[in-house]
Structure 1
Amino acid sequence: MIQVDRVTKHRGGRLLWRDLSFTVARGEVLALTGPSGCGKSTLLDCIGLIDSLDAGTIHVGGTDAGRSRRRARRLRRDHLGYLFQDFGLVPDMTVDANIRIGRPGRSRGARRMTTAEALERVGLAGRGSDRAHDLSGGEQQRVALARLVVKQPDVILADEPTSALDDDNARMVLDALGDFASAGAAVIVATHAAPVAERAATVLRLERTS
């Protein structure tokens, strides 16, 4: 589902990684680990077509967006889902509105879960009219998960998704990511936490360059 082929990236004049290659298949969870500054988040941003490469290619579902902004937007809309450390919600919008942001722009065949059903699945039934800024950190991450439940993306990119959560919410997030993989998604998680990496089938450690 994801093919990273000989990618290179510099940041602020410093090399993050060179000629890096790996693949992530459907149903697989890969953990990116390594010290701060090694480029884990930047690699996720490149895979998620938010940042650009200096060299190499990344194919998502067999498609390389290259330098095409239009193709990148289509891939983000149709295939990619994100789970951020800061939850990625619009604070002044309602829970329902935040979840609707993630709805796909195309039909995928099977009936999609409604917003209410997704909220019930993540333990927030009846909270759709609440404002995101009124929720706790754990509840906001549950809303972000509900957004993924509705979208059902082929690829999920999670950047330190448990770092701001208590043990119960962290466990719920990890269980949900495992469920997405079991349903056929390719999941990549950037993490410092050993318990998170231990849940992954494959671990790729990045090293910090001098």
Structure 2
Amino acid sequence: MTPYLHFASEYMELGGRTLWSSLEISAEPGEMVALMGPSGSGKTTLLNCLGALTRPSTGSLTVGGVGVHPASSAVRRKFRRDHVGYLFQNFALVESESVEKNIVAPLRIMPRKRRPSASDISQALSSLGLVGREKDKVCGLSGGEQQRVALAAVLVKKPSLILADEPTGSLDDANARVIIESVRRLTDQGACAVIATHDHDVARSCDRVVNLQKFTVSA
């Protein structure tokens, strides 16, 4: 049976060096997969390949039986729009805008019938301990609160694939637990998640660990 997510690459070249060789990774609905490896091993690049943001030098990506690479730009855009939710270490928020606008703005490209309602947004924020904070400016929030806003945007999108790049790297233990437990709730509902992390506690919370150092090409 073909995995829900499957990526295979003979090698990946970036910036004049080969990041990995003979790499293969898969994930199923309900799974949290941790990506680990030293700095420079290609964790972020692999996430970008899985999210169809970066074209791998070689190989293929299929998600839900659909070929995402190689594929046209239109297919890749539709895949990102309909299926992918991102969590970044730097939160990727517009600090001068409100919490609500930061959640709604990335979702305006979605079909109107799939856009979240004000009630959906309020419910997501409430579940993350941010009840009534819709109109607050992001610049007035703590780092942990900002990451929870970014997570709320993922919750209301309800993606089938969550890609998280060091999502707890700048957070304290309590906020880190909120993020990982919330991602787990999404996978319990049928999503799959791939999380790049250096945190062994986060890795232990996942179902499997892929160590990219195994695939790293020695200089």
TM-score (norm 2): 0.90
Answer whether contact 2:82 2:159 (CA < 8 A) is retained.
yes
User: SS in structure 1 opposite 2:184?
Assistant: helix
Q: Displacement, 1:19?
A: 2.3
Q: Displacement, 1:8?
A: 2.4
Aligned to 2:148: 142
Identity %: 42
Q: Does 1:184 align with 2:190?
A: yes
Give deviations 1:71-97, integer Å, cap 9, x for gaps. Answer: 111001100000000011122221001
Runs of 5+ unmatched residues, structure 1: none
Q: Out of 99, 104, 107, which is 1:100 matched to?
A: 104
Q: Displacement, 1:37?
A: 0.4
Measure the CA separation in 2 of the matches of 1:78 and 1:7. Answer: 28
**Aligned positions, number:** 209
Measure the CA separation in 1 of the matches of 2:65 and 2:24. Answer: 15
Runs of 5+ unmatched residues, structure 2: none
Measure the CA separation in 1 of the matches of 2:207 and 2:162. Answer: 15
User: SS in structure 2 opposite 1:55?
Assistant: coil
Aligned to 1:27: 30
Runs of 4+ in 1 over 4 A off after TM superposition: none
Superposed, 1:113-192 pairs within 5 Å as 114-192=120-198
User: SS in structure 2 opposite 1:81?
Assistant: strand
Answer whether contact 1:33 1:192 (CA < 8 A) is retained.
yes
Aligned to 2:14: 11
Which residue identity is paired with 2:201? P
Cα RMSD for the two superposed structures: 1.8
Aligned to 1:91: 95
Aligned to 2:209: 203
Counting helix residues as a fraction of each chain, which structure ranks higher?
2
Measure the CA separation in 2 of the matches of 1:149 and 1:205. Answer: 28
Measure the CA separation in 1 of the matches of 2:43 and 2:55. Answer: 14
TM-score (norm 1): 0.94
